[in-house]
């Protein structure tokens, strides 16, 4: 459903994504994880056809993603980390516009179902400017789900949502995957990504570090089959965990004096009264 080979993006001297390969089959949720600047959003924008790749091949539901590929774009929905809405349009008008854009026939029942699923029914006639951050996120997801695409690309889909909203969003994503969609979710909320995804891609500095199920990644990193959360595995795979304090390190004792250093201690003795002021005129 999503097939990517040798995907590369260069910005002058910066290689943002470097020879990335991935495949997501129908019904799978791939969790893409990495630090800020790892290349996740750049990758998703190339998959969505928003950003041209420097090299490599992308196929969406069998259709090649090229600069003028309408069919590939019709078969996916991309939700960016910041919802892109029209300030003057209401919730309903957004959904009717998307329905017209994708040729959804008789969109009313689908719209009603989505508004109910994401608890936006009472905001049906509210403009985007009247919606909270979380409601705007829900509306963006509703727009993505409306034409029931076989491919979903979701960049930080849980941003701005309260705990019940996050639970509902995860259930909605899982339901679309269960219905046969191929889904990629990029998020820093690793506990939720771990529960939601069937496979994972850890990306660092634009390159794939390791990919597979949790069991696959544990085996690749030398863990026991049931040992290590996604966060643990991510930190180990990228080497970032070595820069953090050990989890079993004793906490600092606020009553204990700091260890001695080689630097000389500052003297508490005031300077002589006739000490000349510094050359820049600041107080001595």
- pLDDT tens for 107-130 read 999 999 999 999 999 999 999 999
What tens digit of pLDDT does each residue of 214-238 get?
Answer: 999 999 988 776 778 999 999 999 9
- Res. 6: pLDDT tops 90: yes
pLDDT digits (tens, 9 = 90+) for 29-73: 999 999 999 999 999 999 999 999 999 999 999 999 988 889 999
Please report which confidence band the pLDDT of residue 243 belongs to, taking 50, 70 and 90 as the band edges. Answer: low
Q: How far apart are CA 171 and CA 176, in angstroms?
A: 9
Length of the chain measured in residues:
284
Higher pLDDT, 167 or 242: 167
Structure-token match 């994708």, residue found: 102
Beta-carbon contacts of 193 under 8 Å, excluding residues fewer than 6 positions away, are 31, 33, 185, 187, 200, 230
Handedness of CA 229, 235, 238, 239 (dihedral sign): negative
Question: In this predicted structure, what is the pLDDT of residue 225?
Answer: 65
Lowest mean pLDDT among 48-57, 181-190, 243-252: 243-252
User: What local confidence, expressed as pLDDT, does residue 261 receive?
Assistant: 41
Confirm if 135 and 127 have CB atoms less than 8 A apart.
no
**Domains within the chain, CATH numbers bracketed:** 1-75+192-242 (3.40.50.300)
pLDDT higher than threshold 80 for residue 275: no
pLDDT of residue 242: 63
Confidence (pLDDT) at 26: 97
pLDDT exceeds 60 at position 280? no
- The rounded distance, in Å, linking the Cα atoms of 198 and 210 is 14
3-state SS, one letter per residue, for the chain: CEEEEEEEEEECCEEEEEEEEEEECCCCEEEEECCCCCCHHHHHHHHCCCCCCCEEEEEECCEECCCCCHHHHHCEEEECCCCCCCCCCEHHHHHHHHHHHHCCCCCHHHHHHHHHHCCCHHHCCCEHHHCCHHHHHHHHHHHHHHCCCCEEEEECCCCCCCHHHHHHHHHHHHHHHHCCCEEEEECCCHHHHHHHCCEEEEEECCEEEEEECHHHHHHHCCCCCCCCCHHHHHHHHHCHHHHCCCCCCCCCCCCCCCCCCCCCCCCCCCCCCCCCCCCCCCCC
- Mean pLDDT, residues 176-190 taken together: 96
Average per-residue pLDDT for the chain: 87
How far apart are alpha carbons 14 and 20 in whole angstroms? 15
């Amino acid at each position: 459903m999503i097939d990517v080979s040798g995907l590369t993006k260069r910005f002058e001297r910066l290689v943002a994504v470097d020879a990335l390969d991935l495949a997501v089959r129908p019904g799978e949720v791939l969790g893409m994880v990495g630090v800020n600047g790892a290349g996740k959003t750049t990758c998703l924008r190339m998959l969505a056809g928003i950003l041209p790749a420097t090299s490599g091949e992308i196929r969406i539901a069998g259709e090649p993603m090229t600069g003028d590929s309408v069919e590939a774009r019709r078969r996916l929905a991309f939700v960016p980390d910041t919802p892109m809405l029209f300030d003057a349009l209401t919730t309903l008008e957004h959904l009717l516009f998307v329905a017209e854009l994708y040729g959804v026939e008789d969109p009313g029942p689908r719209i009603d179902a989505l508004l109910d699923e994401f608890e936006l029914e009472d905001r049906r006639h509210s403009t985007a400017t009247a919606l909270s951050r979380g409601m705007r996120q829900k509306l963006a997801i509703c727009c993505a789900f409306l034409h029931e695409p076989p491919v979903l690309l979701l960049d930080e889909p849980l941003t701005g949502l309260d705990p019940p909203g996050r639970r509902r969003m995860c259930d909605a994503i899982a339901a679309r995957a269960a219905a046969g969609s191929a889904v990629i979710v990029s998020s820093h909320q690793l506990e939720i990504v771990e529960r939601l995804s069937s496979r994972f891609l850890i990306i660092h500095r634009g390159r794939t570090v390791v990919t597979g199920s949790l069991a696959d990644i544990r085996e690749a990193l030398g863990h026991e089959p049931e040992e290590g959360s996604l966060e643990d595995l991510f930190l180990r795979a990228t080497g970032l965990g070595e820069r953090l304090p050990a989890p079993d390190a004793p906490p600092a004792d606020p009553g204990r004096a700091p260890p001695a250093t080689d630097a000389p201690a500052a003297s508490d003795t005031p300077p002589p009264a006739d000490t000349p002021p510094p050359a820049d005129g600041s107080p001595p």
